[in-house]
A and B are shown apart, each in its own frame.
Chain A
Amino acid sequence: MTEQTFEQAQVELEQIVERLERGDVGLEELTKLWERGEELYRRCAEQLAGAQGTIEELARRLDAQQT
């Protein structure tokens, strides 16, 4: 669970919203789903807001090509 990608979180959040919109959820389960949904939302939002992109150069391997 901790290694969940944004994409997986996205899919799970969509599924939870769909279930809630369909409405056939008991109150106890609703609490669980809603909390999980909020957590996923928070995680996605953090990933979108916090992460600064990086551009890294791979060291060139000229020696490997010189035969």
Chain B
Amino acid sequence: MKVEATEVEGRKVYSVRAFNQGIAGYIEKLPTVWVEGEVTELRRQDRWASVFLTLKDPEDGACLAVQMPRGQFDGLRLELQNGERVHVYGRPEVYAQRGDFHLRALTIERYGLGAHLAALERLKQKLAAEGLFAAARKRALPRIPALIGLVTGNDAAAKRDVLSAITTRFPPAHVLVAETYVQGPRAAPAIATAIADLCARGVDVLILARGGGSFEDLLPFSDERVVRAVAECPVPVVSAVGHEQDTPLCDLAADVRASTPSVAGRLVVPDLAELRAWLDRAHAGLGRGARRIVERHGERLATAHDRLRRAPLLALERRRARLDTTRGRLLALSPRATLERGYAIVRSGDALVREPPAPGTPLAVEVAGGPFGARSE
């Protein structure tokens, strides 16, 4: 903007407005820089368009006013508190109307291990209280995934490790890779977006992989946005971030934690050779089972047939045996057996003689040997 001065009695004179605009225009040409300081006088209200804070130099107390659009500030989810050490990335700006000077922040990052750890611990407690890390939430991985999602940086190692572990163990695997930022201020929203994108493409398991890095490098994986994206992911998530000793919060929210990207790769797919062996066993079992059942039915049929064939003979024999028994019982009851023992049956006419008959009565006598006539005396 061109700043016009007026000539007054030989002087070049600027209006306040023109002067401020001139300064503003000049200052706006300054580069964007990082400024380190301590957060004081943090002011944020829902109805304000901007968030205000004062950055204080811890050495000598020098102050710098900082403004940031509230949406952007909220988007960072820093939950910043007064007294925390931060790095503010921004450019100087003049509010021409008032002649005020401030730093317009583009992003703010927490700085210093202590502050980070404290913030991390606060977030961890908060998310744990919501139950995001609960064991009951953990889901089992699919035995054979149809489509594997991989969120990783473009750093070759982690991605290559995961992919080679998967394709070595299970060559028919289908993998959809989402490369994204894995460190720096853009990483957290980018990772969350990548997770959502992969889920939208229908993956049925998801790997979050990143190689080792410094504490700060791994911070995006403890970012609330990433942790929530992992916890809310509709399919199981395997987290393989950093080294064994690092425990970013996304590891706690994931369904399975893998110590390295290779382990993550091996976890999500079955071993093809084992699977083939299983299939062969199942096939053999199918044939064997079917054969055994057919044999068993055959045996049962043969037995039934055999019994059928023998049945008439058996029935005949059984009847004959019964006849013999009956005959035996009949014989036992017949008077003949008594006659054999020396008794005699005496009849007079048709009647059996039980009382001594009148002398001269003709009698028929039967003994074991046969009948003969007699006369009583």
Contact = CB atoms under 8 A, between A and B. Distances in A.
B179 A53 contact: no
Nearest to A20: B289
B175 A17 contact: no
Interface residues of A, number: 37
Interface in A29-45: 30, 33-34, 37-38, 41, 44-45
Interface string A1-40: 0000111001001101101110101010010011001100
A64 B356 CA distance: 139
Classify chain B's interface size.
35 or more
B133 interface: no
A58 B72 contact: no
Contacts of A41: 279, 282-283, 286
B178 interface: yes
Contacts of A52: 171-172
B285 A48 contact: no
B193 interface: yes
Contacts of A55: 163, 167, 174-175, 177
Nearest to B278: A10
A67 B206 CA distance: 27
B142 interface: yes
B174 A10 contact: no
A65 B193 contact: yes
Nearest to A25: B293
A7 B144 contact: yes
A4 to B, nearest CB: 11
B174 A20 contact: no
A65 B175 contact: no
Interface stretch (B52-60, B194-202, B237-245): B194-202
A5 B292 CA distance: 30
Given A53-B167, A57-B177, A58-B178, A23 B292 contact: yes
A52 to B, nearest CB: 7
B91 to A, nearest CB: 16
Interface in B175-192: 175-181, 186, 189-190
B33 interface: no
A48 B272 contact: yes
20 contacts: A5-B144, A16-B286, A17-B286, A21-B288, A25-B293, A33-B290, A38-B286, A41-B283, A48-B172, A48-B275, A53-B167, A53-B173, A54-B174, A54-B175, A55-B163, A55-B174, A56-B176, A58-B178, A58-B198, A67-B72
Given A48-B172, A56-B177, 5 more contacts: A23-B289, A30-B294, A44-B279, A55-B174, A58-B176
